[in-house]
Amino acid sequence: MVKVTLDNITKRFGDFEALKRVSLEIADKEFMALLGPSGSGKSTLLYTIAGIYKPTSGRIYFDDRDVTDVPPKDRNVGLVFQNWALYPHMKVFDNIAFPLELRKVPKDEISKKVKKVAEMLHIENLLDRYPWQLSGGQQQRVAIARALVKEPDVLLLDEPLSNLDALLRLEVRAELKRLQKELGITAVYVTHDQAEALAMADRIAVIRGGEILQVGDPDEVYYKPKYRFVGGFLGSPPMNFVEAEVQDSYLDVYGNKIPIPPQYRELVKKLGIREVILGFRPHDAEVVKGKAEGLFGTVYSFEPLGREQIITVSVNGASVKVFAPEGEHFTFGEQVTVKLREDRIILFDKKTEKALEFLLEE
Ligand SMILES: Nc1ncnc2c1ncn2[C@@H]1O[C@H](COP(=O)(O)OP(=O)(O)OP(=O)(O)O)[C@@H](O)[C@H]1O
Ligand SMILES: [Mg+2]
């Protein structure tokens, strides 16, 4: 239960810069997701917070205490590794008890604590089994219990649900979110799964190539992406992008005239920008039959998903995906128009791929 501050952290492995001047503040009791593609530096950042890696430069603080040179065992962090190995020769009880035994906690206290954390994770009836007698999801919960039992100040989780099947993942994800809030532990949760980050986190830090691109609550990073990459990484399907040219009062998108969204009119003028990328989310548009104001194209494909369907529309060679209600019928090649919800449009600078509203900062 502490605030974690990363101040300008750089981590080099030889010549390779895995983390580049990362600054991030994780509030007391906050659930922070570190979201990014494979190789973006998520684990490196997590292990740096844990003290397993020492930053090449920069400082780390737990509250006001500078822990940059403090070894992992003196940081009171609970760490669940990406490949959550349990000790195979120990029963579940002993696996969970292990961190407390290292601390020479009295036996009856250990017993009480292990039982309590096991109950919280619904594994209290498994304490007498060996890891190989457990399902993947149960093993996972044992690993989480082991990290929790020592009542860490900071809980660090590295893709803890990545090996579970989809259903179990949904179940454990809800449990974990509730548990973190009940215990009031500051948590950093590494994932490359955008849905998991959106569902669980108070705030999300999007990381790419060792740099944090954006930090914000789920709504913010979802609806107000700072970079094209962020819009394209979150959402399923992710944000659509089409190239557009700014004209006097409209945007030319492959010959379609789209009015410049009101929220951008002043800014576009001020920036004097011509080449932009127009981004919109699949549920911030609708598909109507025939030609209308919007992006005119043809139906390339449609995928029913139960309650709704995804329509893929070809717009002069570009492809965009839009949600449509379940009952509507579409045919391959049919002429349609994608009508955009104006207030949700995001315009990015084509060169830097940064959203226009962020172009003037720094
Ligand atoms: N010990 C190391 N020595 C050299 N390079 C490393 C080392 N650890 C990580 N790297 C490199 O640093 C980059 C970030 O690695 P990291 O493990 O942090 O990625 P990640 O975001 O956790 O990826 P994944 O989602 O695949 O687990 C990668 O390019 C990786 O090859
Ligand atoms: Mg990793």
* Residue pLDDT tens, the chain, 362 long: 699 999 999 999 999 999 999 999 999 999 999 999 999 999 999 999 999 999 999 999 999 999 999 999 899 999 988 776 899 999 999 999 999 999 999 999 999 999 999 988 889 999 999 999 998 888 888 999 999 898 899 999 999 887 777 887 888 888 889 889 988 999 999 999 999 999 999 999 999 999 999 999 999 999 999 999 999 999 999 999 999 999 988 999 999 999 999 999 999 999 999 999 999 999 999 999 999 999 999 999 999 998 999 999 999 989 999 999 988 999 999 999 999 999 999 999 999 999 999 998 76
Q: How many of the other CB atoms lie within 10 Å of CB of 127?
A: 19
Residue 126's pLDDT is what?
Answer: 96
Question: Is there a single domain that holds both residue 207 and residue 242?
Answer: no
Q: What are the tokens at 55? A: 């930053």
Question: Is there a single domain that holds both residue 340 and residue 194?
Answer: no
> Is residue 18 lining ligand 1, measured as CB closer than 6 Å?
yes
Give dist(CA 167, CA 169) in Å, integer. 5
Q: What's the CATH code of the domain at 209?
A: 3.40.50.300
Judge residue 243's burial from the number of C-beta atoms within 10 Å of its C-beta, 0-12 exposed, 13-18 middle, 19 or more buried: middle
Where does a domain end: 180, 212, 232?
Answer: 232
Question: Of 113, 117, 116, 176, which Cα lies nearest the Cα of 145?
Answer: 117
Residue 1's pLDDT is what?
Answer: 65
Angle CA(204)–CA(193)–CA(362) in degrees, nearest 5? 35
Q: How far is ligand 1, taken at its centre, from the CA of residue 16, in Å? A: 10
Residue 84's pLDDT is what?
Answer: 66
Give dist(CA 27, CA 184) in Å, integer. 11
Residue 362's pLDDT is what?
Answer: 64
**Greatest Cα pair distance in the chain:** 77
Where does a domain end: 183, 216, 232?
Answer: 232
- How large is the C-alpha radius of gyration of the chain? 24
Question: Is there a single domain that holds both residue 51 and residue 153?
Answer: yes
Q: How far is ligand 1, taken at its centre, from the CA of residue 14, in Å? A: 13
Give dist(CA 273, CA 82) in Å, integer. 44
Question: Is there a single domain that holds both residue 202 and residue 225?
Answer: yes
Question: Is there a single domain that holds both residue 28 and residue 172?
Answer: yes
Host H or E run for residue 301: strand 295-304
Asked if 153 and 77 touch (Cβ cutoff 8 Å), the reply is yes
**Integer angstrom CA distances of residue 139 from 47, 81, 133, 229, 247:** 22, 13, 9, 34, 59
Question: Is there a single domain that holds both residue 244 and residue 214?
Answer: no
Question: Is there a single domain that holds both residue 30 and residue 149?
Answer: yes
What ligand has the least distance to the C-alpha of 12? 1
Give dist(CA 279, CA 264) in Å, integer. 13
Q: At what angle do helices 136-148 and 166-183 cross, to 10 degrees?
A: 10
Question: Is there a single domain that holds both residue 212 and residue 72?
Answer: yes
Asked if 51 and 77 touch (Cβ cutoff 8 Å), the reply is yes
Give dist(CA 244, CA 257) in Å, integer. 10
User: Which of the 8 DSSP states describes residue 356?
Assistant: G
Residue 122's pLDDT is what?
Answer: 85
Give the nearest ligand 1 atom to 82 CA. Answer: 27
Q: What domain count does the chain have? A: 2
Where does a domain end: 232, 259, 284?
Answer: 232
Question: Is there a single domain that holds both residue 249 and residue 222?
Answer: no
Question: Is there a single domain that holds both residue 252 and residue 341?
Answer: yes
Residue ID of nearest Cα to ligand 1 atom 7: 13
Asked if 80 and 101 touch (Cβ cutoff 8 Å), the reply is no
Question: Is there a single domain that holds both residue 49 and residue 97?
Answer: yes
Q: How far is ligand 2, taken at its centre, from the CA of residue 43, in Å? A: 4
Asked if 342 and 261 touch (Cβ cutoff 8 Å), the reply is yes
Q: What's the CATH code of the domain at 327?
A: 2.40.50.140
Structural domain that includes position 214: 4-232
Question: Is there a single domain that holds both residue 280 and residue 192?
Answer: no
> Is residue 146 lining ligand 1, measured as CB closer than 6 Å?
no
Give the nearest ligand 1 atom to 45 CA. Answer: 18
